[in-house]
Amino acid sequence: MGTTDLCVISPATGVQVSKSGSHIAPGLPLGPAGPSGILKFVEITVNLLVLICVGASQASVAGFTSLGGFGSSFNLNWAYSPFEGTELQEVRELDMQFTQMRAPCVYGGVVFSLAAATLTLVFLIVGAKPIQQLRTGLLVGECAFSLLAGLAYLAAVGLYLHFVRQVNATEVCRRRERLYARRGYTSMNCAVQGGDAAVGLFGVVASCLYFASFVVCILAIRTVRAFQSRTAKAQHSPKGSVRDRSVRSHHAVHRTSESSHNVQALATLV
């Protein structure tokens, strides 16, 4: 059978001391902080949603003649197409120009969301340690990343929507809109699409999550520093060690006297 590691509280330092001699700060978790880990999981999920919405938005406005929405055209002679002849050629050219104009914000959104998700995953894995093994330098880096990521997401959302509105205001978009509307396809308009709005929404949510992670990280730094200071006091305070030993000795003597008293009482009854 395994032995049970009992804990007592040092009256000198207020630090919990296990039977094996290790110090445990009261009320501090021995594993990765729950709120921080949950926030990082949600941040990674929202980053992936931003990535999906960026791709879906580009695909939804690509048109009939742009493969995947990234400027590569293909011939629709083998498939159904509402356009024919010179009109088909004009639509193909406009689709390619439109998707190429949107390409910088699409590629930028994909790279930004992937980078944010990857760095968040790295901090999640590196920070998944017991509190005794956490270092304030790592937590400071995590706080800086969370703050910068929150600010960067706000700036990125603003730039993304501004760029989309600029592309939608071009003559290429207007001519394309008129050609598609002539065939009854009103979804290919020059307004901000639902996918672009979803990118902005999830981007703002991600920014709020990173700001919340920054606050949680600051609290974690204070907790770790308090734990380290209490542990250092308990290890380097001879007075506290003497008091701890005297308290344990007093408890042992008290239990021994109680046992002898019970034995004497039992002998008297017999």
* pLDDT digit string, tens, across residues 65-116: 655 444 444 444 435 566 677 888 888 888 889 988 999 999 999 999 999 9
Mean of the per-residue pLDDT values of the chain: 75
CA triple 147-152-154, angle to 5 deg: 105
Name the residue among 57, 29, 49 with its Cα closest to residue 219: 29
Of 11 and 96, the one with more pLDDT: 96
Largest Cα span, the chain: 118
Q: Between the ranges 38-47, 124-133, 218-227, 240-249, where is the mean pLDDT highest?
A: 38-47
Rg from Cα positions in the chain: 32
Looking at residue 237, its pLDDT comes to 62
Please give the pLDDT value at position 223.
Answer: 84
What is the percent of the chain where pLDDT is above 70? Answer: 66
The number of angstroms, rounded, from the C-alpha of 141 to the middle of its chain's C-alpha atoms is: 14
Q: What is the structure's pLDDT at 65?
A: 62
Write out the H or E segment, with its range, that includes residue 72.
strand 72-73
| DSSP-assigned letters across all residues of 1-52 | -PPP--EEE-TTT--EEETTS-EE-TT--SSS-HHHHHHHHHHHHHHHHHHH
pLDDT at 118: 96
The DSSP annotation for 199-265 comes to: HHHHHHHHHHHHHHHHHHHHHHHHHHHHHHHHHHHHHH-HHHHHHHHHHHHHHHHHHHHHHHHHHHH
Give the separation between CA 107 and CA 111, rounded to whole angstroms: 6
Amino acid (1-letter code) at residue 142: E
Q: Which residues pair with 72 in a beta bridge?
A: 67
Nearest CA among 103, 110, 108, 111 for reference residue 72? 103
Q: Which of 1-10, 54-63, 241-250 has the highest mean pLDDT?
A: 54-63
The more confidently predicted of residues 242 and 213 is 213
Q: Is 179 helix (H, G, I), strand (E, B) or coil?
A: helix
Type of residue found at 123: F
pLDDT for residue 1 is more than 60 = no
Report the amino acid identity of residue 252: A
Q: How far apart are the two ends of the chain, measured CA to CA in Å?
A: 35
170, two tokens: 């071009």
- Long-range CB contacts (within 8 A, 24+) of 9-12: 10/234, 10/240, 10/243, 10/244, 10/247, 11/243, 11/247, 12/237, 12/239, 12/240, 12/243, 12/244
Show Cβ contacts of residue 122 under 8 Å, excluding neighbours closer than 6 positions. Answer: none
pLDDT at 23 over 80: no
* Predicted TM-score (pTM) above 0.85: no
Convert the pLDDT of each residue in 164-204 to its tens digit: 999 999 999 999 999 888 878 787 888 888 999 999 999 99
